[in-house]
Structure 1
Amino acid sequence: KRAVTRIGKNGYPDSIYINAAKIFQGIRTEKSTGRILLRYGDTSESPVVAFKDEHSRRVSYELAFNALKYQDLLEEMLLDSKVYPCYSIPDELTSLLVVMLYDLQDRKFEKRKVFAEEELVAEVQEIGHYLYRYKTKLAAALARCRIKYDALSIEYFVPESISKREQRTSALPVCFWINTFKISLEDVIRDLEMNGFTKVESVSDFDHYTYAVDQHCHDVLVFPSSLREELLNLDLFADCKLLLQ
Protein backbone atom coordinates (compact mmCIF):
# COMPACT_ATOMS: atom_id res chain seq x y z
CA LYS A 1 0.00 0.00 0.00
CA ARG A 2 1.23 3.47 -0.79
CA ALA A 3 1.30 6.37 1.65
CA VAL A 4 -1.90 8.37 1.76
CA THR A 5 -2.28 12.13 2.00
CA ARG A 6 -2.94 12.07 5.70
CA ILE A 7 -0.99 10.11 8.29
CA GLY A 8 -2.77 9.62 11.60
CA LYS A 9 -4.04 12.88 13.03
CA ASN A 10 -1.51 15.18 11.40
CA GLY A 11 -3.93 17.25 9.36
CA TYR A 12 -4.09 17.71 5.60
CA PRO A 13 -2.31 19.62 2.85
CA ASP A 14 -3.67 23.13 2.34
CA SER A 15 -5.43 22.22 -0.91
CA ILE A 16 -7.62 19.69 0.93
CA TYR A 17 -8.89 22.33 3.34
CA ILE A 18 -9.65 24.70 0.47
CA ASN A 19 -11.61 22.06 -1.44
CA ALA A 20 -13.42 20.83 1.67
CA ALA A 21 -14.43 24.40 2.51
CA LYS A 22 -15.83 24.92 -0.99
CA ILE A 23 -17.82 21.69 -0.72
CA PHE A 24 -19.03 22.54 2.78
CA GLN A 25 -20.15 25.97 1.60
CA GLY A 26 -22.52 24.23 -0.81
CA ILE A 27 -23.89 21.55 1.53
CA ARG A 28 -23.99 23.30 4.91
CA THR A 29 -27.30 23.61 6.73
CA GLU A 30 -28.96 26.94 6.03
CA LYS A 31 -30.34 28.46 9.23
CA SER A 32 -33.59 30.40 9.43
CA THR A 33 -33.21 34.16 9.74
CA GLY A 34 -33.70 34.17 13.50
CA ARG A 35 -31.10 31.41 14.02
CA ILE A 36 -28.28 32.74 11.84
CA LEU A 37 -25.19 32.66 14.02
CA LEU A 38 -22.34 32.74 11.53
CA ARG A 39 -22.16 34.60 8.25
CA TYR A 40 -20.94 32.47 5.37
CA GLY A 41 -20.69 35.01 2.58
CA ASP A 42 -22.14 34.79 -0.92
CA THR A 43 -23.45 31.34 -1.90
CA SER A 44 -25.15 32.31 -5.16
CA GLU A 45 -22.46 30.73 -7.34
CA SER A 46 -21.16 27.18 -7.12
CA PRO A 47 -17.41 27.26 -6.45
CA VAL A 48 -15.05 25.45 -8.80
CA VAL A 49 -13.36 22.51 -7.05
CA ALA A 50 -10.20 21.01 -8.58
CA PHE A 51 -8.80 17.77 -7.16
CA LYS A 52 -5.24 16.54 -7.56
CA ASP A 53 -6.33 12.91 -7.66
CA GLU A 54 -9.06 10.52 -6.57
CA HIS A 55 -7.71 10.25 -3.04
CA SER A 56 -7.74 14.02 -2.62
CA ARG A 57 -11.32 14.13 -3.86
CA ARG A 58 -12.43 11.50 -1.36
CA VAL A 59 -10.62 13.09 1.58
CA SER A 60 -11.99 16.55 0.72
CA TYR A 61 -15.56 15.26 0.66
CA GLU A 62 -15.07 13.34 3.91
CA LEU A 63 -13.74 16.44 5.66
CA ALA A 64 -16.59 18.58 4.33
CA PHE A 65 -19.18 16.01 5.38
CA ASN A 66 -17.70 15.76 8.87
CA ALA A 67 -17.94 19.54 9.20
CA LEU A 68 -21.59 19.27 8.14
CA LYS A 69 -22.27 16.55 10.72
CA TYR A 70 -20.99 18.74 13.53
CA GLN A 71 -21.92 22.14 12.12
CA ASP A 72 -24.07 23.16 15.09
CA LEU A 73 -21.39 22.15 17.59
CA LEU A 74 -18.59 23.86 15.67
CA GLU A 75 -20.57 27.08 15.36
CA GLU A 76 -21.37 27.03 19.07
CA MET A 77 -17.70 26.47 19.91
CA LEU A 78 -16.67 29.46 17.81
CA LEU A 79 -19.24 31.72 19.44
CA ASP A 80 -18.81 30.45 22.99
CA SER A 81 -15.04 30.88 22.83
CA LYS A 82 -15.39 34.37 21.32
CA VAL A 83 -13.11 33.22 18.51
CA TYR A 84 -15.88 34.32 16.15
CA PRO A 85 -16.47 36.91 14.89
CA CYS A 86 -12.97 37.81 13.80
CA TYR A 87 -12.98 40.94 11.70
CA SER A 88 -9.75 40.03 9.92
CA ILE A 89 -11.46 36.91 8.50
CA PRO A 90 -14.04 37.77 5.82
CA ASP A 91 -17.41 36.00 5.61
CA GLU A 92 -16.24 34.18 2.48
CA LEU A 93 -13.73 32.27 4.63
CA THR A 94 -16.17 31.21 7.36
CA SER A 95 -16.59 27.79 5.73
CA LEU A 96 -12.82 27.34 5.84
CA LEU A 97 -12.83 28.38 9.50
CA VAL A 98 -15.48 25.75 10.35
CA VAL A 99 -13.81 22.98 8.34
CA MET A 100 -10.42 23.66 9.92
CA LEU A 101 -11.95 23.82 13.39
CA TYR A 102 -13.46 20.37 12.90
CA ASP A 103 -10.04 19.03 11.97
CA LEU A 104 -8.33 20.83 14.87
CA GLN A 105 -10.63 19.24 17.45
CA ASP A 106 -10.31 15.89 15.67
CA ARG A 107 -6.54 16.20 16.21
CA LYS A 108 -7.21 16.86 19.91
CA PHE A 109 -6.04 20.45 19.33
CA GLU A 110 -2.53 19.32 18.41
CA LYS A 111 -0.41 21.28 15.95
CA ARG A 112 -0.82 20.44 12.27
CA LYS A 113 1.98 18.79 10.34
CA VAL A 114 3.48 20.63 7.37
CA PHE A 115 3.60 18.25 4.42
CA ALA A 116 6.71 18.10 2.29
CA GLU A 117 6.40 19.74 -1.12
CA GLU A 118 2.86 20.94 -0.44
CA GLU A 119 1.78 24.22 -1.94
CA LEU A 120 0.92 26.57 0.90
CA VAL A 121 -2.25 28.65 0.70
CA ALA A 122 -2.18 31.97 2.56
CA GLU A 123 -5.78 31.75 3.78
CA VAL A 124 -5.29 28.26 5.17
CA GLN A 125 -2.09 29.26 6.91
CA GLU A 126 -3.74 32.35 8.42
CA ILE A 127 -6.81 30.54 9.73
CA GLY A 128 -4.77 27.58 10.92
CA HIS A 129 -2.52 29.84 13.00
CA TYR A 130 -5.53 31.80 14.25
CA LEU A 131 -7.38 28.71 15.49
CA TYR A 132 -4.27 27.19 17.02
CA ARG A 133 -3.57 30.43 18.87
CA TYR A 134 -6.95 30.07 20.60
CA LYS A 135 -6.89 26.29 20.98
CA THR A 136 -7.25 26.48 24.77
CA LYS A 137 -10.38 28.62 24.51
CA LEU A 138 -11.81 26.34 21.82
CA ALA A 139 -11.10 23.20 23.84
CA ALA A 140 -12.79 24.79 26.85
CA ALA A 141 -15.79 25.72 24.70
CA LEU A 142 -16.06 22.13 23.51
CA ALA A 143 -15.96 20.90 27.10
CA ARG A 144 -18.69 23.36 28.10
CA CYS A 145 -20.87 22.21 25.21
CA ARG A 146 -20.51 18.58 26.24
CA ILE A 147 -21.34 19.42 29.86
CA LYS A 148 -24.29 21.58 28.80
CA TYR A 149 -25.84 18.76 26.79
CA ASP A 150 -24.55 15.91 28.98
CA ALA A 151 -22.81 14.49 25.89
CA LEU A 152 -20.37 11.62 26.40
CA SER A 153 -18.86 12.27 22.97
CA ILE A 154 -19.33 14.64 20.05
CA GLU A 155 -21.42 11.96 18.32
CA TYR A 156 -24.28 13.31 20.44
CA PHE A 157 -24.33 16.42 18.25
CA VAL A 158 -24.85 14.60 14.93
CA PRO A 159 -28.35 15.47 13.63
CA GLU A 160 -30.71 12.49 13.71
CA SER A 161 -31.36 12.67 9.97
CA ILE A 162 -27.64 12.35 9.20
CA SER A 163 -27.15 9.64 11.81
CA LYS A 164 -29.94 7.50 10.33
CA ARG A 165 -28.59 8.01 6.82
CA GLU A 166 -25.13 6.89 7.94
CA GLN A 167 -26.57 3.79 9.59
CA ARG A 168 -28.41 2.83 6.40
CA THR A 169 -25.34 3.46 4.27
CA SER A 170 -23.03 1.46 6.53
CA ALA A 171 -25.27 -1.58 6.15
CA LEU A 172 -25.03 -1.57 2.35
CA PRO A 173 -22.31 -3.49 0.49
CA VAL A 174 -19.60 -1.41 -1.20
CA CYS A 175 -19.42 -1.60 -4.99
CA PHE A 176 -16.39 -0.89 -7.19
CA TRP A 177 -16.23 -0.63 -10.96
CA ILE A 178 -13.28 -2.30 -12.65
CA ASN A 179 -11.61 0.23 -14.93
CA THR A 180 -11.16 -2.13 -17.87
CA PHE A 181 -9.12 0.50 -19.72
CA LYS A 182 -6.38 -0.10 -17.16
CA ILE A 183 -6.84 -3.64 -15.86
CA SER A 184 -8.69 -6.88 -16.52
CA LEU A 185 -11.02 -8.73 -14.16
CA GLU A 186 -8.50 -11.56 -13.95
CA ASP A 187 -5.69 -9.21 -12.90
CA VAL A 188 -7.92 -7.56 -10.29
CA ILE A 189 -8.80 -10.96 -8.84
CA ARG A 190 -5.11 -11.90 -8.75
CA ASP A 191 -4.22 -8.63 -7.02
CA LEU A 192 -7.01 -9.01 -4.47
CA GLU A 193 -5.92 -12.57 -3.69
CA MET A 194 -2.39 -11.29 -3.04
CA ASN A 195 -3.92 -8.84 -0.56
CA GLY A 196 -5.76 -11.61 1.28
CA PHE A 197 -9.23 -11.35 -0.28
CA THR A 198 -11.30 -14.40 -1.19
CA LYS A 199 -13.88 -14.50 -3.97
CA VAL A 200 -17.32 -15.87 -3.00
CA GLU A 201 -20.44 -16.54 -5.03
CA SER A 202 -22.78 -13.93 -3.54
CA VAL A 203 -23.15 -11.31 -0.81
CA SER A 204 -24.86 -13.88 1.38
CA ASP A 205 -21.48 -15.64 1.60
CA PHE A 206 -19.61 -12.57 2.85
CA ASP A 207 -17.21 -13.21 5.71
CA HIS A 208 -14.98 -10.15 6.19
CA TYR A 209 -12.13 -10.39 3.62
CA THR A 210 -14.38 -11.60 0.84
CA TYR A 211 -15.95 -10.16 -2.28
CA ALA A 212 -18.26 -11.17 -5.10
CA VAL A 213 -18.59 -10.34 -8.77
CA ASP A 214 -21.92 -8.67 -9.52
CA GLN A 215 -24.20 -11.23 -11.17
CA HIS A 216 -25.59 -8.72 -13.65
CA CYS A 217 -22.46 -6.70 -14.42
CA HIS A 218 -19.15 -8.53 -14.41
CA ASP A 219 -17.22 -5.27 -14.29
CA VAL A 220 -18.51 -4.60 -10.77
CA LEU A 221 -17.13 -6.11 -7.57
CA VAL A 222 -19.09 -6.09 -4.33
CA PHE A 223 -17.47 -6.03 -0.88
CA PRO A 224 -18.69 -5.97 2.73
CA SER A 225 -19.19 -2.38 3.91
CA SER A 226 -16.76 -2.96 6.79
CA LEU A 227 -13.88 -3.11 4.29
CA ARG A 228 -14.52 0.28 2.71
CA GLU A 229 -11.59 2.17 4.26
CA GLU A 230 -9.12 -0.66 3.63
CA LEU A 231 -10.19 -0.90 0.00
CA LEU A 232 -9.75 2.82 -0.52
CA ASN A 233 -6.13 2.48 0.58
CA LEU A 234 -5.29 -0.23 -1.93
CA ASP A 235 -3.05 0.59 -4.89
CA LEU A 236 -5.86 -0.68 -7.13
CA PHE A 237 -7.96 2.26 -6.00
CA ALA A 238 -5.13 4.79 -5.87
CA ASP A 239 -4.21 3.88 -9.46
CA CYS A 240 -7.86 4.25 -10.56
CA LYS A 241 -8.05 0.59 -11.55
CA LEU A 242 -10.98 0.20 -9.16
CA LEU A 243 -13.51 3.03 -9.00
CA LEU A 244 -15.91 3.48 -6.11
CA GLN A 245 -19.45 3.31 -7.42
Structure 2
Amino acid sequence: KRTVTLIDKDGYPDSVYMNAAKIFQGIHTEKSKDRMLVRYGNNSESPVLAFQDEHSRRVSYELAFSALKYQDLLEEILLDSGVYPCQSIPDELTSLLVVMLYDLQDRKFEARKIFDEEEPVEEVQEIGHYLYSCKTKLAAALARCRIKYDALSIEHFVPETIWKQEQRVSALPFCVWINTFKISLEDVIRDLETKGLTKVESVSDFDHYTYAMDQHCHDVLVFPSSLKEELLNLDLFADCKLLLQ
Protein backbone atom coordinates (compact mmCIF):
# COMPACT_ATOMS: atom_id res chain seq x y z
CA LYS A 1 0.00 0.00 0.00
CA ARG A 2 1.07 3.53 -0.65
CA THR A 3 1.56 6.02 2.14
CA VAL A 4 -0.82 8.95 2.02
CA THR A 5 -0.59 12.32 3.68
CA LEU A 6 -2.83 12.18 6.72
CA ILE A 7 -5.36 14.84 7.54
CA ASP A 8 -5.11 15.32 11.26
CA LYS A 9 -4.69 17.86 13.99
CA ASP A 10 -1.05 16.81 14.20
CA GLY A 11 -0.06 19.12 11.38
CA TYR A 12 1.31 18.23 7.97
CA PRO A 13 4.59 17.27 6.31
CA ASP A 14 6.81 20.21 5.40
CA SER A 15 6.03 19.89 1.69
CA VAL A 16 2.32 20.52 2.33
CA TYR A 17 3.06 23.80 4.09
CA MET A 18 5.35 24.89 1.27
CA ASN A 19 2.79 24.08 -1.40
CA ALA A 20 -0.01 25.72 0.59
CA ALA A 21 2.12 28.84 1.04
CA LYS A 22 2.82 29.03 -2.69
CA ILE A 23 -0.89 28.68 -3.45
CA PHE A 24 -1.81 31.27 -0.83
CA GLN A 25 0.81 33.66 -2.22
CA GLY A 26 -1.09 33.68 -5.50
CA ILE A 27 -4.61 33.98 -4.10
CA HIS A 28 -4.32 36.15 -0.98
CA THR A 29 -6.29 39.38 -0.84
CA GLU A 30 -4.16 42.35 -1.82
CA LYS A 31 -4.80 45.34 0.43
CA SER A 32 -4.59 48.95 -0.67
CA LYS A 33 -1.31 50.65 0.22
CA ASP A 34 -2.85 52.64 3.06
CA ARG A 35 -4.15 49.38 4.62
CA MET A 36 -1.18 47.16 3.80
CA LEU A 37 0.31 46.34 7.20
CA VAL A 38 1.38 42.81 6.27
CA ARG A 39 3.56 42.44 3.19
CA TYR A 40 3.69 39.33 1.05
CA GLY A 41 6.54 40.05 -1.34
CA ASN A 42 6.47 39.54 -5.07
CA ASN A 43 3.99 37.04 -6.51
CA SER A 44 4.45 37.77 -10.21
CA GLU A 45 5.94 34.35 -10.97
CA SER A 46 3.77 31.26 -11.24
CA PRO A 47 4.56 28.90 -8.35
CA VAL A 48 6.10 25.50 -8.99
CA LEU A 49 4.07 22.95 -7.03
CA ALA A 50 5.26 19.41 -6.34
CA PHE A 51 2.69 17.11 -4.76
CA GLN A 52 3.52 13.67 -3.41
CA ASP A 53 0.07 12.33 -4.25
CA GLU A 54 -3.54 13.36 -4.77
CA HIS A 55 -4.10 13.50 -1.04
CA SER A 56 -1.19 15.88 -0.56
CA ARG A 57 -2.52 18.09 -3.35
CA ARG A 58 -5.94 18.29 -1.76
CA VAL A 59 -4.79 19.14 1.75
CA SER A 60 -2.37 21.76 0.37
CA TYR A 61 -5.21 23.55 -1.39
CA GLU A 62 -7.50 23.18 1.63
CA LEU A 63 -4.88 24.70 3.90
CA ALA A 64 -4.26 27.59 1.50
CA PHE A 65 -7.95 28.39 1.14
CA SER A 66 -8.52 28.12 4.89
CA ALA A 67 -5.79 30.71 5.39
CA LEU A 68 -7.42 32.88 2.73
CA LYS A 69 -10.80 32.63 4.44
CA TYR A 70 -9.31 33.89 7.71
CA GLN A 71 -6.64 36.16 6.24
CA ASP A 72 -7.82 39.32 8.02
CA LEU A 73 -7.97 37.55 11.38
CA LEU A 74 -4.58 35.89 10.96
CA GLU A 75 -2.96 39.18 10.01
CA GLU A 76 -4.51 40.88 13.03
CA ILE A 77 -3.20 38.13 15.31
CA LEU A 78 0.31 38.51 13.90
CA LEU A 79 0.27 42.28 14.33
CA ASP A 80 -1.44 42.37 17.72
CA SER A 81 0.92 39.76 19.17
CA GLY A 82 4.02 41.54 17.89
CA VAL A 83 5.10 38.34 16.14
CA TYR A 84 5.05 40.26 12.85
CA PRO A 85 7.05 41.99 11.51
CA CYS A 86 10.14 39.90 12.17
CA GLN A 87 13.52 40.87 10.72
CA SER A 88 14.54 37.26 10.16
CA ILE A 89 11.46 36.51 8.03
CA PRO A 90 11.52 38.13 4.57
CA ASP A 91 8.31 39.26 2.87
CA GLU A 92 8.54 36.30 0.49
CA LEU A 93 7.93 33.97 3.44
CA THR A 94 4.95 35.85 4.90
CA SER A 95 2.56 33.49 3.11
CA LEU A 96 4.23 30.55 4.83
CA LEU A 97 3.96 32.38 8.15
CA VAL A 98 0.21 32.96 7.68
CA VAL A 99 -0.51 29.42 6.48
CA MET A 100 1.40 27.88 9.38
CA LEU A 101 -0.29 30.23 11.85
CA TYR A 102 -3.69 29.07 10.64
CA ASP A 103 -2.65 25.47 11.19
CA LEU A 104 -1.12 26.22 14.60
CA GLN A 105 -4.33 27.79 15.93
CA ASP A 106 -6.34 24.96 14.37
CA ARG A 107 -4.23 22.58 16.49
CA LYS A 108 -5.04 24.69 19.56
CA PHE A 109 -1.39 25.81 19.62
CA GLU A 110 -0.19 22.27 20.28
CA ALA A 111 3.15 20.99 18.98
CA ARG A 112 3.31 19.61 15.45
CA LYS A 113 3.95 15.94 14.77
CA ILE A 114 7.31 15.08 13.20
CA PHE A 115 6.96 13.35 9.83
CA ASP A 116 9.91 11.04 9.21
CA GLU A 117 9.09 10.02 5.65
CA GLU A 118 10.46 13.12 3.94
CA GLU A 119 13.32 15.58 4.13
CA PRO A 120 12.64 18.61 6.34
CA VAL A 121 12.35 21.99 4.64
CA GLU A 122 14.50 24.60 6.36
CA GLU A 123 12.05 27.49 5.95
CA VAL A 124 9.16 25.44 7.32
CA GLN A 125 11.22 24.27 10.27
CA GLU A 126 12.36 27.80 11.13
CA ILE A 127 8.93 29.42 10.87
CA GLY A 128 7.31 26.52 12.69
CA HIS A 129 9.74 26.86 15.58
CA TYR A 130 9.33 30.64 15.61
CA LEU A 131 5.54 30.48 15.76
CA TYR A 132 5.56 27.75 18.39
CA SER A 133 7.97 29.76 20.53
CA CYS A 134 5.46 32.63 20.37
CA LYS A 135 2.38 30.47 20.95
CA THR A 136 1.44 32.20 24.22
CA LYS A 137 1.48 35.63 22.58
CA LEU A 138 -0.44 34.32 19.57
CA ALA A 139 -3.08 32.58 21.68
CA ALA A 140 -3.52 35.75 23.74
CA ALA A 141 -3.90 37.83 20.57
CA LEU A 142 -6.53 35.42 19.25
CA ALA A 143 -8.39 35.65 22.56
CA ARG A 144 -8.32 39.46 22.37
CA CYS A 145 -9.71 39.34 18.84
CA ARG A 146 -12.53 37.07 19.93
CA ILE A 147 -13.37 39.39 22.83
CA LYS A 148 -13.13 42.45 20.59
CA TYR A 149 -15.56 41.01 18.05
CA ASP A 150 -17.65 39.01 20.56
CA ALA A 151 -16.81 35.80 18.69
CA LEU A 152 -17.32 32.36 20.24
CA SER A 153 -15.04 30.79 17.62
CA ILE A 154 -13.03 31.84 14.59
CA GLU A 155 -15.94 30.82 12.35
CA HIS A 156 -17.49 34.11 13.46
CA PHE A 157 -14.92 35.89 11.30
CA VAL A 158 -16.14 34.24 8.09
CA PRO A 159 -18.54 36.52 6.16
CA GLU A 160 -22.12 35.27 6.60
CA THR A 161 -22.67 34.76 2.87
CA ILE A 162 -19.62 32.46 2.66
CA TRP A 163 -20.63 30.61 5.84
CA LYS A 164 -24.14 29.90 4.52
CA GLN A 165 -22.77 28.79 1.17
CA GLU A 166 -20.33 26.40 2.87
CA GLN A 167 -23.12 24.95 4.98
CA ARG A 168 -25.18 24.22 1.87
CA VAL A 169 -22.26 22.71 -0.03
CA SER A 170 -21.13 20.52 2.88
CA ALA A 171 -24.57 18.91 3.05
CA LEU A 172 -24.68 17.96 -0.64
CA PRO A 173 -23.79 14.48 -1.90
CA PHE A 174 -20.47 14.43 -3.73
CA CYS A 175 -19.38 12.72 -6.92
CA VAL A 176 -16.22 10.81 -7.78
CA TRP A 177 -15.02 9.78 -11.20
CA ILE A 178 -13.67 6.27 -11.77
CA ASN A 179 -10.36 6.50 -13.59
CA THR A 180 -10.95 3.56 -15.94
CA PHE A 181 -7.38 3.83 -17.21
CA LYS A 182 -6.31 2.46 -13.83
CA ILE A 183 -9.24 0.44 -12.49
CA SER A 184 -12.51 -1.07 -13.64
CA LEU A 185 -15.95 -0.30 -12.27
CA GLU A 186 -16.22 -3.88 -11.05
CA ASP A 187 -12.98 -3.64 -9.08
CA VAL A 188 -14.08 -0.36 -7.50
CA ILE A 189 -17.40 -1.87 -6.43
CA ARG A 190 -15.59 -4.91 -5.02
CA ASP A 191 -13.18 -2.68 -3.10
CA LEU A 192 -15.99 -0.55 -1.69
CA GLU A 193 -17.93 -3.63 -0.64
CA THR A 194 -14.94 -4.94 1.32
CA LYS A 195 -14.97 -1.64 3.20
CA GLY A 196 -18.62 -2.08 4.14
CA LEU A 197 -20.29 0.20 1.61
CA THR A 198 -23.56 -0.83 0.00
CA LYS A 199 -24.78 0.21 -3.45
CA VAL A 200 -28.28 1.74 -3.53
CA GLU A 201 -30.47 2.80 -6.42
CA SER A 202 -30.47 6.57 -5.88
CA VAL A 203 -29.39 9.34 -3.53
CA SER A 204 -32.84 9.30 -1.95
CA ASP A 205 -31.93 5.87 -0.55
CA PHE A 206 -28.72 7.07 1.08
CA ASP A 207 -27.86 5.87 4.52
CA HIS A 208 -24.38 6.45 5.97
CA TYR A 209 -22.32 3.66 4.33
CA THR A 210 -23.99 3.71 0.94
CA TYR A 211 -23.34 5.00 -2.55
CA ALA A 212 -25.10 5.15 -5.91
CA MET A 213 -24.13 5.19 -9.55
CA ASP A 214 -24.80 8.33 -11.53
CA GLN A 215 -27.86 7.70 -13.69
CA HIS A 216 -26.33 9.38 -16.73
CA CYS A 217 -22.66 8.41 -16.45
CA HIS A 218 -21.66 4.97 -15.21
CA ASP A 219 -18.09 6.11 -14.57
CA VAL A 220 -19.33 8.38 -11.79
CA LEU A 221 -20.29 7.33 -8.27
CA VAL A 222 -22.22 9.46 -5.79
CA PHE A 223 -21.68 9.34 -2.02
CA PRO A 224 -23.29 10.96 1.05
CA SER A 225 -21.49 14.07 2.29
CA SER A 226 -20.90 12.39 5.67
CA LEU A 227 -18.47 9.94 4.04
CA LYS A 228 -16.26 12.50 2.32
CA GLU A 229 -13.33 12.72 4.73
CA GLU A 230 -13.29 8.97 5.32
CA LEU A 231 -13.34 8.09 1.62
CA LEU A 232 -10.67 10.59 0.63
CA ASN A 233 -8.22 8.73 2.86
CA LEU A 234 -8.59 5.53 0.83
CA ASP A 235 -5.79 4.20 -1.37
CA LEU A 236 -8.23 4.44 -4.29
CA PHE A 237 -7.83 8.22 -4.11
CA ALA A 238 -4.14 8.22 -3.27
CA ASP A 239 -3.49 6.08 -6.36
CA CYS A 240 -5.75 8.31 -8.50
CA LYS A 241 -8.09 5.42 -9.27
CA LEU A 242 -10.95 7.54 -7.97
CA LEU A 243 -10.96 11.29 -8.54
CA LEU A 244 -13.07 13.82 -6.69
CA GLN A 245 -15.17 15.87 -9.08
The two structures have a TM-score, normalised by structure 1, of 0.94
Deviation at 1:20, TM superposition (A): 0.3
Report the Cα distance in structure 2 between the residues aligned to 1:77 and 1:94, rounded to whole angstroms: 13
Deviations along 1:128-168, whole A, 9 cap, x unmatched? 11111111100110111111111111111112343233123
Q: Answer yes or no: is 1:225 the counterpart of 2:206.
A: no
8 A contact 2:4–2:233 mirrored in 1: yes
C-alpha root-mean-square deviation of aligned residues, in Å? 1.6
Matched residues, percent identical? 84
| Alpha carbons of structure 1 residues 14 and 42: separation in structure 2 relative to 1, 3 Å | same
8 A contact 1:2–1:234 mirrored in 2: no
The count of corresponding residues between Structure 1 and Structure 2 is: 245
Query: Which residue number in structure 2 is paired with residue 244 of structure 1?
Result: 244
Query: Which residue number in structure 2 is paired with residue 136 of structure 1?
Result: 136
TM alignment of 1:54-73, pairs within 5 A:
54-73=54-73
In structure 1, the gaps of 5 or more residues are none
Report the Cα distance in structure 1 between the residues aligned to 2:34 and 2:7, rounded to whole angstroms: 41
Where 2:31 maps in the other structure, the secondary structure is coil
In structure 2, the gaps of 5 or more residues are none
Query: Which residue number in structure 1 is paired with residue 197 of structure 2?
Result: 197
Report the Cα distance in structure 2 between the residues aligned to 1:128 and 1:158, rounded to whole angstroms: 25
**Aligned residue type for 2:138:** L
8 A contact 1:202–1:213 mirrored in 2: yes
Deviation at 1:48, TM superposition (A): 1.4
Query: Which residue number in structure 2 is paired with residue 36 of structure 1?
Result: 36
8 A contact 2:211–2:224 mirrored in 1: yes
**Aligned residue type for 1:183:** I
Query: Which residue number in structure 2 is paired with residue 187 of structure 1?
Result: 187
Query: Which residue number in structure 1 is paired with residue 90 of structure 2?
Result: 90
Report the Cα distance in structure 2 between the residues aligned to 1:59 and 1:173, rounded to whole angstroms: 20
8 A contact 2:211–2:221 mirrored in 1: yes
Report the Cα distance in structure 1 between the residues aligned to 2:219 and 2:60, rounded to whole angstroms: 27
Report the Cα distance in structure 2 between the residues aligned to 1:40 and 1:27, rounded to whole angstroms: 11
8 A contact 1:146–1:154 mirrored in 2: yes
Query: Which residue number in structure 2 is paired with residue 215 of structure 1?
Result: 215
Where has structure 1 moved over 3 Å in runs of 4 or more?
1-4
Report the Cα distance in structure 1 between the residues aligned to 2:110 and 2:166, rounded to whole angstroms: 28
**Aligned residue type for 2:61:** Y
Report the Cα distance in structure 1 between the residues aligned to 2:200 and 2:7, rounded to whole angstroms: 33
Report the Cα distance in structure 2 between the residues aligned to 1:27 and 1:8, rounded to whole angstroms: 24
Where 2:211 maps in the other structure, the secondary structure is strand
8 A contact 2:67–2:98 mirrored in 1: yes
The two structures have a TM-score, normalised by structure 2, of 0.94
Deviation at 1:209, TM superposition (A): 1.4
Deviations along 1:67-123, whole A, 9 cap, x unmatched? 112111111100000100011111110000000001111111112122113211111
| Alpha carbons of structure 1 residues 238 and 108: separation in structure 2 relative to 1, 3 Å | same
8 A contact 2:183–2:241 mirrored in 1: yes
Deviation at 1:172, TM superposition (A): 2.4
**Aligned residue type for 1:162:** I
**Aligned residue type for 2:46:** S
Where 1:21 maps in the other structure, the secondary structure is helix
Query: Which residue number in structure 1 is paired with residue 21 of structure 2?
Result: 21
